[in-house]
Structure 1
Amino acid sequence: MNLRLFAFRTQKLDSGVRIQDIVDGEGKEAREGDTVEVNYVCRRSNGYFVHSTVDQFSGASSPVILLLNEKEIIKGLKEVIVGMKAAGKRRALIPPSVGYVNDNLGPIPDEFGPRRSLLSHVKEPLIFEVQLLKVL
């Protein structure tokens, strides 16, 4: 039953990105070109953890500020965030073709270990769980 619910609530974009809304959110909607503040968890498609802005033990977060354009962030993540409302949360499967197609696209962790881990998996689909904190 859960699989049908997930399939029913999942939207597949033309780019191949699959989006599942977890929390709809309220308030201002993010649009292309906006600057947003988000928390995210990134995992490999097999579920293995890659990086997060939220500490899994303490719950403390280090949100990132992103400009919603394809020169700044990966195209797939931009597609996930555009249309979200503040306090909304989405889970998405992002194929490599709209992922980290070059090293200049964010979000990239500052720390060496997480950055290395992320960049070593750029040729595979990644799962992002994104919470839009606010549209700036």
Structure 2
Amino acid sequence: MAATAMASYLQLPITRTKARHSFQPRCNSGTRKISIAGIYSASSFDSCTFGIHSRRLLLFIGSIPFWSNTNPAFGALMPQIEEPEIIRTRKLDGGVRVQDIVDGDGSAANDGDVVEFNYVCRRANGYFVYSTVDQFSGEAMPIILPLDENQMIKGLKEVLIGMKIGGKRRALIPPAMGYVNENLKPIPEEFGPRRSLLSHANEPLVFEVQLLKIL
């Protein structure tokens, strides 16, 4: 196959001969003779005239890989690489951007429902602010709140509406949809975490929430 491809590429003269044959290229003085023996069909090329660099060209062309979906070492099909699933971002009313991480099961939460959930709050640059799940022990202290914007920050309410039990979402909540006053929840009870959260109330915050129950 490599010799046939090479002959076609160089557009060398082709003549027919018997099935078994040898190549004896005609050479001028100062050139090297190359003899190649093999069995080919009658349609294969039989004799060619090579220049002084023929042998180098043959080695070069033989080293060029064929661009295909086969493994050049074993001639086997290469495994197909599946692309990772893309997590798409959608924008809600008010500018909240949401990503669905896990869909969850069962009925979805609606406006006015009382829900139980865990959350992690970070700044937009990834800086940790607060979490209801202890990072070391794994102990969780879930929040129970009604989906009511008079009690819960409006951006988080929009994120939780439509979620199913076990579902997870990540959201970027702008300040206008966040802690517009200190009475809105969720907010840590401890003084240090509470102060830390409110100190970043005027910047976008990232919430990762998991819906546990619809009460």
Q: Give the TM-score of the pair, scaled to structure 2.
A: 0.60
One-letter amino acid matched to 2:193: P
- Please list every run of 5 or more consecutive structure 1 residues that lacks an aligned counterpart in the other structure: none
One-letter amino acid matched to 1:48: Y
Structure showing greater relative contact order (alpha-carbon pairs closer than 8 Å, 6 or more residues apart): 1
Please identify which structure carries the higher strand content: 1
Q: Name the CA distance, whole Å, in 2 between partners of 1:13 and 1:64.
A: 23
Indicate whether 1:123 and 2:209 are aligned: no
Q: Name the CA distance, whole Å, in 1 between partners of 2:132 and 2:102.
A: 18
One of 69, 73, 89 as aligned partner of 2:148: 69
**CA deviation after TM superposition for structure 1 residue 56, in Å:** 1.0
Equivalent residues in 2 for 1:1-136, closer than 5 Å: 5-6=86-87, 9-136=88-215
Root-mean-square deviation (Å): 1.4
Q: Name the CA distance, whole Å, in 1 between partners of 2:92 and 2:107.
A: 22
**CA deviation after TM superposition for structure 1 residue 27, in Å:** 1.1
**CA deviation after TM superposition for structure 1 residue 14, in Å:** 2.3
4+ aligned runs moved over 4 Å, structure 1: none
- How many residues get paired? 133
**Larger Rg belongs to:** 2
Q: Name the CA distance, whole Å, in 2 between partners of 1:112 and 1:46.
A: 23
